[in-house]
Structure 1
Amino acid sequence: MKIVFMGTPDFAVPSLQALLDAGHEVCAVYTQPDKPQGRKQVLTAPPVKELALQQGIPVYQPATLKNEDEQAKLRALAPEVIIVVAYGKLLPKAVLDIPPRGCINVHGSLLPRWRGAAPIQWSVIAGDQKAGVTTMQMAEGLDTGDMLLTYETEIGARETAGELFDRLAQAGAALLVETLEKLDSITPRPQDDSQSCYAHMLDKQMAVIDWTKSAHEIDCLIRGLSPWPIALTTLAGARLKIYAAEPVPGTGKPGEVLESDPKKGLTVACGAGALALHEVQLVGGKRMKSADFLRGHAIDKGTMLGE
């Protein structure tokens, strides 16, 4: 099938590779413009662009698809179908109407739950037991199109958003190939809008831990914000990132250090239950196991985090 592929981050790379491996003709790739990254703000190509160039596929990086000139270029490519995987832009109706087989999106949630930019992370933050990937026929709204096929998986008890992200990227690629194989026989299913939640983009403000919440809620936040932006609190006024933790029995004032010993670990009281902190990092220092951290940083029992 002649395809135009639209995608940008790591999540989209397996899907593009799967299309190529399945023998589809990817005549062009659309991706976001290169952006400065890191402390030195080095101009960096999106992962999808890197794969496309390796495969000799023409790459387009328009700032917008809303103007007629860009739409004319896309129309001239004459794709049978447009595949969209985490592209990062809403497609206007004029673009949606170009391919005769429609525009198919690979979305990282069990639609209609978690529409929006960060569905995988929010499924972990919310404590969902299951996550998945849905292929759908795109419509003008945000992730509102009719569903085609769905892949469902349980979220591991200690699984981070990053780990789930990697699993679902591979599952989405396989589901995309299956969707194209069965496209003529699939009956699209409308979404129930009343069951949808909005998965807005993550930001650093939401990383600050509220110790009045339950240990389970805070644990989900820590796992959902890994590998970015990483949950954090304060220790004696300094920011302390928490990379890994686990709910344990314990009672005390929210944020109170209940245990602080290299052999016994670092335990903090929550609004309900407590958290054993396994991996931490003082901003400006190194990420390390809590036992190693406590050997170099004495923390008295009763110390309050987050103040």
Structure 2
Amino acid sequence: MKVVFMGTPDFSVPALKAIAGKHDVTAVVTQQDRPKGRGHKMQFTPVKETAVELNIPVYQPRKVKDKEFVEILRNLKPDVIVVIAFGQILSKEILDLPKYGCVNVHASLLPKYRGAAPIQWAVIDGEEYSGVTTMYMAEGLDTGDIIDKSVVKLRDDETGGSLFDALSQEGAKLIIETLDKLEQGTAERTKQDDSLSTYAGKITKELGNIDFSKPAVEIERLIRGLNPWPSAYTTLNGKTLKIWKAKVEEGSTDKAPGEIMEVSKRGIKVATGENFLILQEIQLEGKKRMEVSAFLNGYEINAHHLGD
């Protein structure tokens, strides 16, 4: 099949490699290069880096809907356009262009978790399962008919980062299965039940600000869901304290949420709205990320409360 691949971040790379190993990827479309780091040096997107390695022509339109670029797509005559975390909305003109349509790989079990951040929210919300869905793209946000799904069980220690990696690999496998079905004429269409949909909104840095009045189990999930970005945090003696790992300990107290109950090598025990949270891996502003046991070797915690 002649495939045009649209994607931008690391998440899309395994799928691009898998498709290129089996089909004719005639072009890759990705977001424009952006300046990065202190020197503001222009940096390729991860998908562009991979396309260059694979000798696939790369297009980086400012707007994929522009007439000039739609004409380029038309001239490429793709059988299918595969879209994975591209970052731009496609016009109906593009959606109708390929023989087999435009197929999206989405990192959730649709119709649940439509939107920008399905991976992090699955962890934050305490879902038992997540997965990837391939679907025919429609004009709405993640509303197209479902083709295939692949289910992944979340581990007890699942983070946003580990689930990202798992679903990225799962998506690469699933898109190959879906393309095979399209070619063989066996791909099914299952309409989404809009009443079952939830919206996974963008993740912001502010979301990581820990509210200790919430139950410890919710805070612990937030910490895992926002690892590695943007991370959950509080303050200690006026400095930002990132929390990378914690566990829940059952118990009750009349102390205020955020109160430090105990400091030991096993962690920093903090009162919450329900049960206790044991902070195990932290990073104080200006310091490296480390286990609490190592942190205590060079820092004495004399504060009584977090988040002041």
TM over 0.5: yes
Name 2:249's counterpart in structure 1: 248
C-alpha separation between the residues in 2 aligned to 1:198 and 1:154? 21
Matches within 5 A, 1:77-226: 77-183=76-182, 184-226=185-227
Matches within 5 A, 1:41-52: 41-52=40-51
- Alpha-carbon shift at residue 193 of structure 1 (Å): 1.0
C-alpha separation between the residues in 2 aligned to 1:149 and 1:116? 18
Matched, 1:260 2:259: no
- Alpha-carbon shift at residue 186 of structure 1 (Å): 2.3
| CA deviation profile, 1:202-250 (whole Å, cap 9, x unmatched) | 1111110000111111011101101100100001111100111111123
Matched, 1:65 2:64: yes
CA contact (8 A) 1:2 1:80 kept: yes
Name 1:234's counterpart in structure 2: 235
Name 1:56's counterpart in structure 2: 55
C-alpha separation between the residues in 2 aligned to 1:193 and 1:38? 42
C-alpha separation between the residues in 1 aligned to 2:50 and 2:6? 13
CA contact (8 A) 1:250 1:269 kept: no
C-alpha separation between the residues in 2 aligned to 1:34 and 1:147? 32
The alignment partner of 2:279 has SS state of strand
- Alpha-carbon shift at residue 66 of structure 1 (Å): 1.9
The alignment partner of 1:182 has SS state of helix
C-alpha separation between the residues in 2 aligned to 1:285 and 1:190? 50
C-alpha separation between the residues in 1 aligned to 2:297 and 2:43? 39
| CA deviation profile, 1:11-61 (whole Å, cap 9, x unmatched) | 10000011122x200000000001122344332111110010011100000
Residue 293 of structure 1 is aligned with which of 292, 295, 299?
295
CA contact (8 A) 1:209 1:232 kept: yes
* Alignment CA distance shift 1:7-1:203 (3 Å): same
C-alpha separation between the residues in 2 aligned to 1:190 and 1:305? 48
In structure 1, stretches of 5+ residues that fail to align are none
Matched, 1:28 2:27: yes
C-alpha separation between the residues in 1 aligned to 2:74 and 2:3? 12
CA contact (8 A) 1:136 1:149 kept: yes
Q: Which amino acid aligns with 1:118?
A: A
C-alpha separation between the residues in 1 aligned to 2:246 and 2:82? 38
C-alpha root-mean-square deviation of aligned residues, in Å? 1.1
The alignment partner of 1:169 has SS state of helix
The alignment partner of 2:120 has SS state of helix
Q: Which amino acid aligns with 1:231?
A: A
* Alignment CA distance shift 1:40-1:254 (3 Å): farther
Q: Which amino acid aligns with 1:227?
A: P
- Alpha-carbon shift at residue 185 of structure 1 (Å): 1.0
C-alpha separation between the residues in 2 aligned to 1:233 and 1:39? 27
CA contact (8 A) 1:82 1:103 kept: yes
C-alpha separation between the residues in 1 aligned to 2:6 and 2:106? 13
Residue 276 of structure 2 is aligned with which of 266, 274, 277?
274
C-alpha separation between the residues in 2 aligned to 1:46 and 1:37? 11
CA contact (8 A) 1:83 1:105 kept: yes
The alignment partner of 1:106 has SS state of strand
C-alpha separation between the residues in 1 aligned to 2:44 and 2:57? 14
CA contact (8 A) 1:267 1:277 kept: yes
Matched, 1:284 2:286: yes
CA contact (8 A) 1:62 1:70 kept: yes
